[in-house]
Amino acid sequence: MSISSTEIKSENNGDLVTRTQQCRILASTCLMAFTIIGLNQSFGVFQAHYGRQASALEGVLLQGDLSKRPLISAVGSLGNGGLVAAFALFYYPHLPRLGGHVKYLCGLGTAFITIGFAAAAGSHNLATLVACQGFLVGIGAGILNYVLAPILPEYFLQRSGLAQGAMFACGGLGGMVWVFVLTALLEGIGIRWTLGLLSILSFAILSISSALALPPRKFERRSTEIVSWKVFRDPLFASLAIVNLTMALTLAIPTAFGSEFAQSIGASITHGSYLLAINSGIGIPGRICTGWLSDKIGHLNMLIVATAVYAIATWALFLSSAITSDLGPYVGMTVCYGLSSGVFNTVMNSAQKMLFGAEMYYPKSGATITVRGIGFVIGTPIAGGFVSRIAGEDLVGRDFLKLIVYTGALLTLSLLCLLNVRRLDAQGNGWKLVR
């Protein structure tokens, strides 16, 4: 049987992957996710604690800092690594050239996180926390997360969704564990000792993750060109960019403000933290299952379903809970969010690899991740501006109404854009049920 020149041209085979390599990169990314993503998901514990009188009494914040919710939120939004992701357009195309240097780069990220938490332990005002727990930790988190996460699916061509589901399930496990750990530490030994201990633990775990890291796979053809802004004129790419922006703007809202919101409708500090832990805990099996399911029904299809669930839960349950100050609907919202929120991070890299192809995966993904990074950086500070600027103890459910409507509107826009991506993909490649 002869093979046409077109078929030969379309092939882009990578080097062989061994089971040892798969186990190694999976272990590396899982340790990274447990620490970095887990701490990001549990930042709501810090958010609630920094807004209370205890932080001023400890001397970590000034009395006037307690009501500056957008700036407190900036600690979490900078600390999630979005600042590094915002420049992905320029460095992503060159990731395949890293080779063995990926370990040293991850080691640098580990150093930033270690120093950031250690320096934050000596804070006396909000500006220091933003600079250390926000900026320094965020640089380290961004280096590790946005270097390792896109490499993982390349080592699992047939089960990329399941592999990423396992990684983000570890992130969910970390979120659940860190919520309990941080709540106990902050109440028991205070903010300074908690941040110092986080510095030590982060160094220990992330050093192992860095040592296990593997470089991107070698393919016969790899583009290292930085995509021009003209690519945004492509309707499919533009729609996908809007999805990356809107999801980044909204993903952290329930975790960043969940503990405060729960307390505003009658839950105690401990119960508010428990709801945050439930949120992360539900995502553990959910992310593995959705990763596996996305390999079966299609990554785009999975994104559409999950975004629809998140949007409906926001309008129907989150909003209802704020209006009535009833904890019941919010528990339902927590369950729906826990099941659906991880799908974006779990599936998006695989979906983009399918849409862009191996050759253009890094250049075009770099552009969308730049958009995503901007959303992660500005997301929670913007959201914090929609919450009434009063001390945490005085908040009530209705103080979050503008925030919830803002979240629901962005999710609705994201859903419409995903449906448009599905339509445009079908026009270009023919309609396929699994896509």
Check residue 415 and give its pLDDT: 96
Check residue 369 and give its pLDDT: 86
* 15, pLDDT greater than 70: no
**Residues 155, 301: Cα–Cα separation, whole Å:** 23
CB 338 within 8 A of CB 179: no
Q: How far is CA 407 from CA 1, 11, 28, 96, 359, in A?
A: 55, 42, 33, 36, 35
Enter the DSSP assignment of 217. P
| 286: in domain | yes
Q: Tokens 């992310």 label which residue?
A: 287
**Residues 246, 371: Cα–Cα separation, whole Å:** 9
CB 91 within 8 A of CB 363: no
Kindly report the three-state secondary structure assignment for every residue of 297-329.
Answer: HCHHHHHHHHHHHHHHHHHHHHHHHHHHCCHHH
Rounded mean pLDDT, 76-80: 86
Q: Please tell me which residue, 219 or 48, carries the higher pLDDT value.
A: 48
Q: Is 141 exposed, middle or buried (0-12, 13-18, 19+ CB in 10 A)?
A: buried
Band (249; pLDDT cuts 50, 70, 90): very high
Q: Please tell me which residue, 255 or 238, carries the higher pLDDT value.
A: 238
Check residue 349 and give its pLDDT: 74
DSSP states of 231-264: GGGSHHHHHHHHHHHHHHHHHTHHHHHHHHHHHH
Rounded mean pLDDT, 56-74: 81
When mean pLDDT is compared over 14-18, 202-206, 348-352, the highest value belongs to 202-206
Band (282; pLDDT cuts 50, 70, 90): confident
Q: How far is CA 101 from CA 72, 107, 215, 224, 268, in A?
A: 35, 10, 8, 17, 47
Check residue 391 and give its pLDDT: 56
Of 70-74, 192-196, 216-220, 275-279, give the lowest mean pLDDT range: 216-220
Look up the domain containing 70 and give its range. Answer: 17-429
Check residue 108 and give its pLDDT: 96
Band (1; pLDDT cuts 50, 70, 90): very low
Closest CA to 41 of 146, 180, 157, 149: 180
**Residues 75, 380: Cα–Cα separation, whole Å:** 9
* 3, pLDDT greater than 50: no
**Domains identified in the chain, total number:** 1
The sign one gets for the Cα dihedral 153, 156, 162, 168 is: negative
Q: What global pTM score does this model have? A: 0.77
| 3: in domain | no
* 29, pLDDT greater than 90: yes
The CA-based angle 334-381-403, given to 5 degrees, is: 45
- To the nearest whole percent, how much of the chain has pLDDT over 90? 34
Mean of pLDDT over the chain: 84
* 158, pLDDT greater than 80: no
DSSP states of 10-35: H--PBPP--HHHHHHHHHHHHHHIII
CB 35 within 8 A of CB 202: yes
| 2: in domain | no
| 1: in domain | no
Q: Tokens 């399911």 label which residue?
A: 293
Check residue 36 and give its pLDDT: 95
* Token digits of residue 33: 């996710």
**Residues 80, 35: Cα–Cα separation, whole Å:** 11
Check residue 413 and give its pLDDT: 96
Check residue 4 and give its pLDDT: 38
Check residue 77 and give its pLDDT: 83
Q: How far is CA 90 from CA 84, 93, 206, 222, 370, in A?
A: 11, 7, 25, 15, 9
Check residue 112 and give its pLDDT: 97
pLDDT tens across 93-122, in order? 777 777 778 899 999 999 999 999 999 999
Check residue 223 and give its pLDDT: 61
Q: Please tell me which residue, 350 or 86, carries the higher pLDDT value.
A: 86
Band (220; pLDDT cuts 50, 70, 90): low
- To the nearest whole percent, how much of the chain has pLDDT over 70? 93
Q: Please tell me which residue, 355 or 40, carries the higher pLDDT value.
A: 40
| 4: in domain | no
Rounded mean pLDDT, 355-370: 79
* Token digits of residue 98: 């890293």
Looking from the CA of 75 toward its CB, the CA atoms found within 13 Å total: 30
* 186, pLDDT greater than 80: yes
Rg value, the chain, Cα: 21
pLDDT tens across 373-394, in order? 899 888 888 888 888 665 556 6
| 80: in domain | yes
At 271, the amino acid letter reads H
CB 22 within 8 A of CB 199: no
| 149: in domain | yes
Band (5; pLDDT cuts 50, 70, 90): very low
Q: Is 323 exposed, middle or buried (0-12, 13-18, 19+ CB in 10 A)?
A: middle
Rounded mean pLDDT, 292-318: 91
Check residue 10 and give its pLDDT: 44
Q: Please tell me which residue, 201 or 221, carries the higher pLDDT value.
A: 201
Check residue 83 and give its pLDDT: 85
DSSP states of 26-61: HHHHHHHIIIIIHHHHTHHHHHHHHTSHHHHHTTSS
The CATH number of whichever domain residue 325 belongs to comes to 1.20.1250.20
Measured between its terminal Cα atoms, the distance across the chain in Å is 29
| 10: in domain | no
